Amino acid sequence: MATEILNSTFIRLIFELIIIYSVGLGLAILARKIKQPVFIVYIVGGIILGVIIGPRTNFKFLIDLMGGFTVDSREGALSQLSQIGLIFLLFLTGLETHSDELKRYGKHSVLTSMVGVITPFILVFFTTLFIGFDYKVAIVTGAAVVATSIGVSKQKFRSIGQEECDAACIVKGASIVDDIIGVIVISVLMILIPNNILDQTGWKTGLIDVFITFLSILIIGFIIVKLDKKIKSRNFRVTHYYEIIMGTIIFIFVLSFFANFLGVSAVIGSYFAGLILSLTRLKETVIKFIEPITEIFIAPVYFISKGLALDILDLNSIIVIGVIIAIMTILGKTLGAGLGAKLTGLDNKSALRVGFAMVPIGEVAYLLASIARDAGILGYEELGSIVFVILITSIAGPILLNSTYKTKCK
């Protein structure tokens, strides 16, 4: 009887969501206890869940007890739901861009980011090639690790009362530039790589498509920002919540559809939708309503389902590759961002702090890698390795940063 009920796609999805949210609740509590970013705990929890009740599980007796039921996030309704989740997660990433940080330390942050992006990209690119992957995987892996997650480092700066020191502020601005660069690189790759344009003489056509895509997004952004400035009513944000949020959701999906039409992944369009709205007066209102929905309803489904999809049967290979890439990432980010910070005029100690604080890569790196996985550029093995890179850098970054705090930063 239970098996017949679960044959219904809708009921099956409900049962899968019951499992995911129940596990997600426990993982969220665990993340708070161990003071780790919740998305990492979600992914690892999803991997463990996949080992137990995933379609490739070795616990056949448990599956038999459940009437043959398994949770497969690679296909079906759960897969489609996680794609919608990715759209909202990248939208929120773009929306939470703090332009004020860039205005305050613009030149310093951009220089730190540029040098801090080039160095790890080159190291990871050539390391990935050396391991034996093709250049497409190497480019995507290099692009993914440039996206900095400073959440853990920011907590460290705050805990010692140094959140507003020069090093911390430069890191906050540089991480914004890192994310934008990472998204742009992945966007370009989504146009060039799937059609093998990089292998053919059609690269000129590909570059034209890239130009048209970003020009179109720039024009849309310019129009939206201009319209925002023309709206004079101070009560607009206060009395029109429903219309603002509904209009925002429409804008997200329209720009996602438009991006896909231009040849870029739809989720890239959602990131730029968030980036555009971050420049308007609607930003705080939209965050107030969209963020809780995204963090409570969407994030557990997306990250746990992606963890479920990872095949860790060849765990040794994934760990070895992940450790090697993580070492190159830590080395590249420390040297690159540290050198960039030094060039802005910081002393050696503060520059080193910037380098260490830029080490962690996080949810943006995983989201970008997931886009490449969905496009068929990365396999689940490569995506699994990037998960280990995220874990290692998220732990190593704060430890390295903490080692420099025998004296206070300037």
pLDDT tens profile 144-176: 898 887 666 666 676 666 666 777 778 888 888
Q: Does residue 53 belong to any structural domain of this protein?
A: no
Which has the higher per-residue pLDDT, 407 or 323? 323
Alpha helices in 193-265 (DSSP H): 203-230, 236-239, 241-261
User: Domain range for residue 398?
Assistant: 77-402
pLDDT above 50 for 255? yes
The per-residue pLDDT of the chain, averaged, comes to 81
User: Alpha-carbon distance 204 to 360, whole Å?
Assistant: 36
Q: Does residue 68 belong to any structural domain of this protein?
A: no
**CATH code, domain carrying 363:** 1.20.1530.20
Q: Tell me the pLDDT band of 1, cut-offs 50, 70 and 90.
A: very low
pLDDT above 80 for 62? no
User: Which of 86, 363, 91 is closest to 245 using CA atoms?
Assistant: 91
Q: Is the pTM of this model over 0.95?
A: no
Q: Does residue 199 belong to any structural domain of this protein?
A: yes
The whole-number average pLDDT for the span 296-313 is 83
pLDDT for position 300: 92
CA of residue 17 relative to chain centroid, distance: 22
Reading the block at residue 34, the tokens are 């161990």
Contact 96, 302 (CB under 8 A): no
Q: Tell me the pLDDT band of 407, cut-offs 50, 70 and 90.
A: low
Any idea which of 99-103, 198-202, 304-308, 399-403 has the lowest mean pLDDT? 198-202
Q: Does residue 314 belong to any structural domain of this protein?
A: yes
Q: Does residue 334 belong to any structural domain of this protein?
A: yes
pLDDT for position 5: 55
Q: Does residue 352 belong to any structural domain of this protein?
A: yes
Within 8 A by CB and 6+ apart from 104, the residues are 169, 173
Q: Does residue 117 belong to any structural domain of this protein?
A: yes
How many domains does the chain contain in total? 1
pLDDT for position 330: 95
Q: Does residue 198 belong to any structural domain of this protein?
A: yes
